[in-house]
Amino acid sequence: MKFLSDLLDLLLPQTCAGCGRPSALLCATCLAFLTGAPARYVRPNAELSRCWAVASYQGPVRAVIVAHKEHGRTPLAAPLGTALAKAIKTAVPSDEQCAVVWIPSSHRSIRARGHDPTRRMAAAAVDELRRAGTPVTALQALRHRREVADQASLSAVQRAANLAGALEPSPNVPLSGRRVVLVDDVITTGATLTEGARALRTAGARILAAATVAATPTHQEKTKPPTRHPP
As a whole number of angstroms, the distance between CA 139 and CA 142 comes to: 9
Tell me whether residue 108 is in a domain: yes
Q: Which is higher by pLDDT, 103 or 149? A: 103
Mean pLDDT over the full length of the chain: 83
Cross-sheet strand order for the sheet of 51-56: 39-40, 51-56, 206-215, 179-187, 98-102, 136-138
Q: How many domains does the chain have?
A: 1
Tell me whether residue 227 is in a domain: no
Query: What is the bridge-based pairing of β-strands 142-144 and 167-169?
Result: antiparallel
Beta bridge partners of 210: 51, 182
pLDDT digits 0-9 by tens, 150-194 = 655 555 666 665 565 578 999 989 999 999 999 999 998 888 899
Tell me whether residue 13 is in a domain: no
Q: With 80 as the cut, is the pLDDT of residue 213 above it?
A: yes
Q: Please give the distance of CA 191 from its chain centroid, rounded to a whole number.
A: 14
Q: With 60 as the cut, is the pLDDT of residue 58 above it?
A: yes
| Backbone phi and psi for residue 157, each to the nearest 5 degrees, phi listed first | -65, -40
Residue pair 225/90 in contact by the 8 Å Cβ criterion = yes
Beta bridge partners of 186: 214
As a whole number of angstroms, the distance between CA 181 and CA 208 comes to: 6
Helix (H, G, I), strand (E, B) or coil at 39: strand
| Backbone phi and psi for residue 163, each to the nearest 5 degrees, phi listed first | -95, -15
**CATH number for 53:** 3.40.50
Most confident listed range (145-149, 188-192, 203-207): 203-207
Tell me whether residue 7 is in a domain: no
Q: Which is higher by pLDDT, 170 or 148? A: 170
Share of the chain above pLDDT 70, in %: 76
Tell me whether residue 82 is in a domain: yes
As a whole number of angstroms, the distance between CA 12 and CA 207 comes to: 43
Q: Please give the distance of CA 213 from its chain centroid, rounded to a whole number.
A: 6
Tell me whether residue 226 is in a domain: no
Q: With 80 as the cut, is the pLDDT of residue 22 above it?
A: yes
As a whole number of angstroms, the distance between CA 74 and CA 185 comes to: 14
Q: Please give the distance of CA 183 from its chain centroid, rounded to a whole number.
A: 4
Tell me whether residue 214 is in a domain: yes
Q: Which is higher by pLDDT, 94 or 198? A: 198
What range defines the domain where residue 203 resides? 35-146+159-219
| Backbone phi and psi for residue 215, each to the nearest 5 degrees, phi listed first | -135, 145
Q: What's the average model confidence in pLDDT over 122-148?
A: 90
Q: With 60 as the cut, is the pLDDT of residue 225 above it?
A: no
Please report which confidence band the pLDDT of residue 32 belongs to, taking 50, 70 and 90 as the band edges: very high
User: According to the model, what pLDDT value does residue 223 have?
Assistant: 44
Q: Please give the distance of CA 11 from its chain centroid, rounded to a whole number.
A: 29
Q: What is the pTM (predicted TM-score) of this model?
A: 0.83
Tell me 175's DSSP state: -
User: According to the model, what pLDDT value does residue 224 have?
Assistant: 45
Q: With 70 as the cut, is the pLDDT of residue 39 above it?
A: yes
Q: With 80 as the cut, is the pLDDT of residue 94 above it?
A: no
User: According to the model, what pLDDT value does residue 153 have?
Assistant: 59
**Sign for the pseudo-dihedral over CA of 154, 164, 64, 38:** positive
User: According to the model, what pLDDT value does residue 200 have?
Assistant: 95
As a whole number of angstroms, the distance between CA 230 and CA 152 comes to: 34
Q: What's the average model confidence in pLDDT over 40-46?
A: 65
Residue pair 228/93 in contact by the 8 Å Cβ criterion = yes
Tell me whether residue 56 is in a domain: yes
Q: What's the average model confidence in pLDDT over 78-90?
A: 96
